Amino acid sequence: MRPFGELEADVMRVVWASDDPLSIHDIVDALHREGRQPAYTTVMTVTERLRTKGWLERVKQGRSFRYSALQTAGDYSAGLMEQALDSSADRESALLRFAGRLDPAEAEALRRALARMPAEPGTDG
């Protein structure tokens, strides 16, 4: 899995923040409100690339398309973390170093998540 480019990440952040599917115009407007000034055609190209990569789906509405996320921001982050672990010669050490960098609230959230997990991944208990 390749990390998103800067504009891809911005587009996905806008889409993830919306409860409703967005048109290219909606995405461009949101980026402009954030101080970014990408051209409409550039956003259209990036959005279509994200769709072909399986991150977005589009639905025809009138004469335009509306886009929504097929995967969550959490899915993306987890994929990047898995990729980083896969590149490590010592996954356990990498996990421990990562956990050691968490702030107390994040560490507690991780503890709670681990407590809810089954003893063996892929099982219910």
Q: How would you write the pLDDT of the chain (125 residues) with one tens digit per residue?
A: 789 999 999 999 999 999 999 999 999 999 999 999 999 999 999 999 999 999 999 999 999 999 999 999 999 999 999 999 999 999 999 999 999 999 999 999 999 999 998 877 666 55
Measure the CA–CA gap between 125 and 119, rounded to whole angstroms.
Answer: 6
Q: Residue 98 sits in which domain range? A: 73-116
- Does the residue 10 lie in any domain? yes
Q: Is 50 found in the same domain as 92?
A: no
Domain count, the chain: 2
Q: What was the pLDDT predicted at 65?
A: 97
- Contacting residues for 73 by C-beta, under 8 A, at least 6 apart: 12, 13, 16
- Reduced 3-state DSSP string for 7-62: HHHHHHHHHHHCCCCECHHHHHHHHHHCCCCCCHHHHHHHHHHHHHCCCEEEEEEC
Q: What was the pLDDT predicted at 121?
A: 66
Q: Is 96 found in the same domain as 61?
A: no
The answer to whether the pTM exceeds 0.85 is: no
- Does the residue 104 lie in any domain? yes
Query: Domain ends where: 33, 48, 69?
Result: 69
Q: Is 84 found in the same domain as 58?
A: no
- Does the residue 124 lie in any domain? no
